[in-house]
Amino acid sequence: VNSGRKNIMLGTAGHVDHGKSALVRLLTGCETDTLEEEKQRGLTIDLGFAPCKLGEEGIVGIVDVPGHVDFIRNMVAGAHGIDLVMFVVAADDGIMPQTLEHLQILSLMGLRHGLIALTKIDLVSEVRRSEVVADLKRLLGGTFLESAPVCPVSNVTGDGYDNFFDILQRVARSCGGRDANGIFRVYVEDVFSIRGAGTIITGIPSSGSVRLGDALELLPTRATGRVRQLQVYGKQDSEARAGECVALNLPEFDHTAVRRGMVLCAPGILDPVTMAEGELHLLNSVPAPLKDYFEAHLHVGTAATTTHVAMLDTTQMAPGSSQMVQLRFADPLALAPGDRFVLRANLPSQAGGGLATIGGGRILSTTNTRLRRHKPWTLETLARRADAIGKTETWLANLLREGARPLTLAQIARQSLVRIDDAQPMLDRLTKEQRVYHTENGSYVHREVIDSLMGKISATVEQFHATNPQRNGISKPDLLQAVRADEECFGFASRRLLDAGRIAWNGTVFSRPGWVARISGTDEQVCETLEGLFRNAGWTPPSLPELGAKVSASPGLIDRNLRLLVERGLLIQLDEKTIMHTSAIESAKTIALRLFARAPSFTTMDFRDALNVSRKYAVPLIDYLDRVRFTVRSGHNRTPGVEARKRMTAPAGASSIIGANRTTKATNPSHP
Ligand SMILES: Nc1nc2c(ncn2[C@@H]2O[C@H](COP(=O)(O)OP(=O)(O)OP(=O)(O)O)[C@@H](O)[C@H]2O)c(=O)[nH]1
Ligand SMILES: [Mg+2]
């Protein structure tokens, strides 16, 4: 498999009638103009494919495109798959309109390799030839073909062909094979049906590889089917890679429901969208500035539709300028970041009128929500994505930073169109470099997300102290709401702050370490009285009405100070009506441990009897012990929870901390 093949795609480009198909015929012996109409009119209408044998490189593919302006749409569909262009210019005609337009399209497609075939040299003088070469140098200056070799050739006499072929091989050698990692995806180029085999779909895969038997999904229809037969460059094979000419036999598909521009992809990976963000570059040839939301024809892969262009930075774009835009399509497209797009439009003041290429760029993301202009975060994020295209590890790190919440390996791989096997080592590396953290739950979260959340948490705690000097700290739900963080991130960030001693947790509230609430003399007195009352009451605490009778203070004052005592961790709110002193809870835990020493489980009744209190107190108490994972409930029975088990296995002597709840909590808070 793959031996004797290099997965790069050659392509032709250039003005109509300049000898593209004739050159392909010389190179491959193949006639690519196969349609009846093509033969009659003597010109190329649709794409033609031919395998080409290059010495050391083995077989590579060639796509032959039409030069006529009416078929630019087909040209763009072919150009998306090209790695190396044979840029054809006839020496008699010289530079013509589609010479320029094809050059613009190829540049917008991000092409980097190529050579120039100066054809029809048999028809011109030496003088004319050097004149055209000089024109070409001017045209190509500053483009990716600036220093590409110019090869004079005649497709009729064969003059210059050997030199052309040598140089083509040299350029092909310098062009690395396409990366076939990543998720398999191919833009449908052609579809037809063969008797006995069924639907055949052809194209040049943009990424990944496909094997016989693979399941594929067609987008946007979401039909699925398996690959029964596979051909590469017209030969049966078991695998095809990105950058090769492939024909897939998918008998489960109805060929009448498949069109050029649809996408075949590993199932469940891509969602068709009607909006995508991109970096748009406008050509200098655009006659006047374009206004926000202008309309244009969009070409991406083999697909074409109309689109509006919502500008995300300024409200108009000058010729030659670039900016981040959101494209809003007439039809759903199955795009991936990195896809190149080309815009064509019929601009009123354009020379000659008619559709012309006006710009293009790269798809950066498919948010599928309307983005608004002048949002620094959006622009920054898009710029980061633009930087990360083609750098998978950076892309993954970006995804985590943008997501602002932990993601699992599977989520990360899916959202970035990377295979899990490829994502894993990259995440390992990012984790090792501490650019990304690995949480207890096995998710990944970006370091900057945690750092910024840690900053927010400490600032919120400080601010809480500043505005509530009489209170002991801020509860977890209040803090969580104030920083508006994902719960898992919050857990991770607060644990780091606690470990670093930058905040404290007393079991009830977060505070600055060493924070002492500043409360008034009256409050202090009420607190003392209340605490004493609850300490003495043990498992049978006073109800709120009873408190009113026992403490000479207003209900508001009592309320406030009860809250203070709860925040300090001295009292614990078991349910709406029941508050108990921590010492009572601690001794209840001791009782539970004693019961567990006798039998593996106990009932609520056993517990109540052991405490010798009514259900009114025993039930909220045992429910609370369940909540703090001291006990575990199953039916009527309680078995030891993790917290109880810690004490049961603790060495002798550890029991001395029982009853000294406050100190243990202060120094070793079990995390919220
Ligand atoms: N004399 C001469 N004629 C050529 C040469 N190359 C091509 N031709 C002729 O020019 C005509 C057009 O050639 P094609 O190869 O079909 O041109 P093309 O660029 O593929 O045209 P489109 O695909 O329609 O854009 C044909 O009649 C060819 O025989 C050449 O090097 N010398
Ligand atoms: Mg042709």
Q: List beta partners, residue 166.
A: none
User: Are residues 64 and 47 in contact, defined by beta-carbon separation less than 8 angstroms?
Assistant: yes
Give the residue, out of 16, 20, 89, with the most ligand 1 atoms within 8 A of its beta carbon, to mutate for a pocket test.
20
**Ligand 1 neighbour 67 (Cβ under 6 A):** yes
Q: What is the pLDDT at residue 260?
A: 94
Tokens 């006798």 belong to 598
Exposure string for 595-613, b = 16+ CB within 10 A, e = fewer: bbeeeebbebebbbebbeb
CA gap 230, 237 in Å, rounded = 6
**Ligand 1 neighbour 17 (Cβ under 6 A):** yes
User: Are residues 17 and 98 in contact, defined by beta-carbon separation less than 8 angstroms?
Assistant: no
**Ligand 1 neighbour 122 (Cβ under 6 A):** yes
Q: What is the pLDDT at residue 652?
A: 47
State which ligand 1 atom lies nearest to the alpha carbon of 98: 25
145 Cα–ligand 1 center, Å: 22
Listed in sequence order, the residues at least 6 apart from 530 whose beta carbon sits closer than 8 Å to its beta carbon are 547, 551, 558, 561, 562, 565, 571
91 Cα–ligand 2 center, Å: 16
Q: What is the pLDDT at residue 2?
A: 52
Residues of the chain with pLDDT under 50: 1, 652-670
**Ligand 1 neighbour 46 (Cβ under 6 A):** no
Taking alpha carbons only, the member of 373, 298, 283, 310 closest to residue 335 is 298
**Ligand 1 neighbour 68 (Cβ under 6 A):** yes
86 Cα–ligand 1 center, Å: 14
354 Cα–ligand 1 center, Å: 25
SS3 for 223-239, per residue?
A: EEEECCEEEECCEECCE
Neighbours of ion ligand 2 (CB under 5 A): 20-21, 44
End-to-end CA separation in angstroms for the chain: 57
Q: What is the pLDDT at residue 1?
A: 40
Exposure string for 273-305, b = 16+ CB within 10 A, e = fewer: bbbbbbbbbbbebbeeebeeebebbbbbbbbbb
**Ligand 1 neighbour 16 (Cβ under 6 A):** yes
Q: What are 111's two structure tokens?
A: 């092409």
Task: Name the packing angle between helices 392-403 and 420-432 (round to 10°).
Answer: 70
Taking alpha carbons only, the member of 589, 596, 585 closest to residue 639 is 596
Instruction: Name the residue with the closest Cα to ligand 1, atom 13.
Output: 19
What beta strand segments (E) does 512-554 contain? Answer: none
**Ligand 1 neighbour 498 (Cβ under 6 A):** no
SS3 for 170-221, per residue?
A: HHHHHCCCCCCCCCCEEECCEEEEECCCEEEEEECEEECEEECCCEEEEECC
Q: What is the pLDDT at residue 514?
A: 92
Q: What is the pLDDT at residue 658?
A: 35
pTM summary value:
0.77
416 Cα–ligand 2 center, Å: 38
207 Cα–ligand 1 center, Å: 33
What beta strand segments (E) does 497-645 contain? Answer: 504-505, 509-511, 571-573, 579-581, 602-603, 631-634, 637-640
**Ligand 1 neighbour 43 (Cβ under 6 A):** yes
**Tens of pLDDT along 327-371?**
999 999 999 999 999 999 988 765 566 889 999 999 999 887 889
Give the residue, out of 16, 17, 157, with the most ligand 1 atoms within 8 A of its beta carbon, to mutate for a pocket test.
17
Q: What is the pLDDT at residue 211?
A: 95
41 Cα–ligand 2 center, Å: 11
State which ligand 1 atom lies nearest to the alpha carbon of 25: 15
